[in-house]
Amino acid sequence: MNLDLRPLTISEFLDRTFSIYRHRFLLFVGLMSPQAVLSLCAALLWGWATASLRTPQDFEPQNLIGLVIGAGIGGVIFTIIHWLLYVLGVGATTIAVSDLYGRLTPDIGSAFSAASKRLGSLLWLTILMAVRILGVIVLCLAPPVVLLGAAGGLSAMNVSNPAVTGGVAAVGVVFLALGMLVALGIMVFMGLRYAVAIPAVVLEPIGGREAIRRSIRLMRGFVGRAFLLMICTGFVGWAAAMVLQMPFVVAMLIVGPETRTGFWLNMAGTATGTAGQTITAPIVAIGVVVLYFEARIRHEALDLQVMTDALGAAAPSLAPAPGFAAAPPPFPN
């Protein structure tokens, strides 16, 4: 597969993303499979636990305490492990795509090994991005929540005219809906601007804060491509879910979720749905790395830099992956 470093049109950008995915399908599915297997185990366990609640006695508080405590502890453990595995999988995918650009042959072991060296920075980066996005949510939703809380407090204490209380509540509901829309729009825009922060952390390498700033600089003029990638991968994921999972869901609804057959159909649908997510998850990770190289070519003439370095090498062998080039500083494989 010839992944030449050159500026790409939008159609070439999407074609390269899906070509990499198609030609190295098993490699990239393998890189993203650990977190998918964990998700499958957790989903099957949760389905079994909820299916065991059949009689009214099962819903009594004393019988639910153990389930609630177990679900809470298990949820925290699952979230942490899933976060680690997902970040590691995305980092390994970044390494593998970079190796392909550098005319190297990637494999699962070396990709995970290289990504694990940057795991701390990757985790810190995701925390920083999550905190920033959470801050946007709080800023957008705090005022309407305060209004609704004030309306509820006035109503409970009977210290205000019902018409005034109802008006405050109505205004709070309107502002809550607007705040949710604004928060969603800002979150999507921030996510698009942060799109190439992970490749920057893995390949350059730099810290989390600098990676966010660098991603914002590199994504100038490329937000539209990132949005198009998100839309395309979203449709692919939706199609995979419809083909793999929906037949089992429909069959379960026909026979009845409470029946034994319905239970096993639900388990099968969960397994096929997770398989669909595993199959389609690498596409967006691959596309982000392709976008990273495209942005560096457009903004920093990375293609000319790599060509000059290759020509100036005293005894060139295999050209290094562009992500590990001299500027920014190299990252040891």
Read off the pLDDT of residues 230-253 as tens digits, 9 standing for 90 and up. 999 888 888 887 888 888 888 888
The answer to whether residue 329 sits within a structural domain is: no
pLDDT at 45: 80
The proportion of the chain whose per-residue pLDDT surpasses 90, expressed as a percent, equals 38
What is the per-residue pLDDT across 154-178, written as a single tens digit (0 to 9) for each? 666 655 566 666 676 777 788 888 9
Query: Alpha helices of 158-259 — where are they, by DSSP H?
Result: 162-193, 197-203, 208-218, 223-244, 246-255
pLDDT band at 124 (very low <50, low <70, confident <90, very high): very high
Mean pLDDT of the chain: 82
Cβ(71)–Cβ(49) under 8 Å?
yes
pLDDT score at 42? 82
State the total domains in the chain.
1
**pLDDT value for 331:** 38
- When pLDDT is averaged across residues 260-285 and rounded to a whole number, the result is 84
Per residue in 13-67, pLDDT (tens digit) is 999 999 999 999 999 999 988 888 888 888 778 777 776 666 666 566 766 677 7
In a domain, 3, yes or no: no
Residue 217 within a domain: yes
C-alpha 134/C-alpha 65 separation (Å) is 30
Give 225-230 contacts, CB < 8 A, sequence gap 24+. 225/10, 225/13, 225/291, 225/294, 226/192, 226/195, 226/288, 226/291, 227/188, 227/192, 228/10, 228/14, 229/13, 229/14, 229/17, 229/284, 229/287, 229/288, 229/291, 230/192, 230/284
Cis previous bond, 61, omega within 30: no
Ranges 19-23, 24-28, 83-87, 305-309: which has the least confidence: 305-309
Q: In this predicted model, what pLDDT tens digit does every residue of 194-216 receive, in sequence order? A: 999 999 999 987 889 999 999 99
Q: What is the pLDDT of residue 55?
A: 62
Residue 316's pLDDT is what? 46
Residue 102, φ and ψ in degrees, nearest 5? -90, 15
C-alpha span between 285 and 264 (Å, rounded) = 33
How high is the pLDDT of residue 317? 45
Mean pLDDT, residues 274-290 taken together = 88
Determine, yes or no, domain membership for 193: yes
pLDDT, residue 312, reads 65
* Inter-residue long-range contacts of 295-299, CB under 8 Å, 24+ positions, other chains counted: 295/196, 295/218, 295/219, 295/222, 296/218, 296/322, 297/5, 297/6, 297/7, 298/7, 298/221, 298/222, 299/217, 299/218, 299/220
With H, G, I as helix, E, B as strand and everything else as coil, classify residue 160: coil
Terminal CA-to-CA distance of the chain, rounded, Å?
22
pLDDT at 81 over 50: yes
Give the pLDDT score at 156: 61
pLDDT at 327 exceeding the cut of 50: no
Residue 333 lies in a domain: no
Distance CA 73, CA 156 (A): 35
The confidence score (pLDDT) of residue 103 equals 81
C-beta neighbour count of 166 within 10 angstroms: 13
Residue 158 forms part of a structural domain = yes
Residue 4, in any domain of the structure = no
Q: Cβ neighbours of residue 104 under 8 Å, at least 6 residues apart?
A: 318, 321
What's the domain range around 110?
A: 10-309+318-324
Q: Is residue 265 part of a domain?
A: yes
CA–CA distance, 101 with 16 (Å, rounded to integer): 11
Dist CA 92 CA 89 (whole Å): 5
